[in-house]
Chains A and B, each alone.
Chain A
Amino acid sequence: KQEVTQIPAALSVPEGENLVLNCSFTDSAIYNLQWFRQDPGKGLTSLLLIQSSQREQTSGRLNASLDKSSGRSTLYIAASQPGDSATYLCAVLSSGSARQLTFGSGTQLTVLP
């Protein structure tokens, strides 16, 4: 059974700092990995999707990497801003007949002005 872990559970950084959020998964047989953002009281917003054949994806100040063999992904946020404050979740779509994302518990990020 796929398990997804995110460390740390919470992170507080000063504005302008570059930061890395970590995600690990136990089964490397995956279709893709997705990173989401969730603001308090809101739904999940898709940020990046990395296919199993890819090593990284970039969108603006965000860069996500994938090392399938070691079961790890990182989300790099450059020049953080207070507006980046949110909970970031990674989710893995495992290979096989079930089309079901397995979510991590998230990292709550606070960027201090």
Chain B
Amino acid sequence: DAGVIQSPRHEVTEMGQEVTLRCKPISGHDYLFWYRQTMMRGLELLIYFNNNVPIDDSGMPEDRFSAKMPNASFSTLKIQPSEPRDSAVYFCASTKGTGFEYFGPGTRLTVL
């Protein structure tokens, strides 16, 4: 398996623009997670899905953030409108049950 795939790997945008991050989990995994990592706050869980259903979105910072998982092989995290404080590395991870969590390479987002 190719592992968790994320795109784009780098995104530079201007404040106010819409940003969409994409993730393809490992086939057969039933959980998908979106994390954000910054120097100040470390690794934060934003939202996670089980069998394509959002289970806990309490980590989503505000209404500007939304996430969807239309099927078992694809998820998006959208920020609209983006702000400079959203600059971070966003990771997607997937797992089966209570096993290892496998992380993607991340998307480095810079909002100018």
Contact = CB atoms under 8 A, between A and B. Distances in A.
A100 B48 CA distance: 8
B interface, size bucket: 20 to 34
A interface, size bucket: 20 to 34
Nearest to B97: A99
Q: Give the interface centre of A89, A93, A101 by most chain B CB atoms within 10 Å.
A: A101
Nearest to A32: B98
Interface stretch (A19-27, A38-46, A70-78): A38-46
Q: Give the interface centre of B101, B104, B106 by most chain A CB atoms within 10 Å.
A: B101
30 contacts: A32-B98, A34-B100, A34-B101, A36-B103, A42-B105, A42-B106, A43-B105, A43-B106, A44-B93, A44-B103, A45-B103, A46-B100, A46-B101, A46-B102, A49-B99, A49-B100, A89-B43, A91-B101, A93-B98, A99-B31, A99-B48, A99-B50, A99-B55, A99-B98, A100-B45, A100-B56, A101-B45, A103-B42, A103-B43, A106-B42
Interface of B: 31, 42-43, 45, 48, 50, 55-56, 91, 93, 98-106, 108
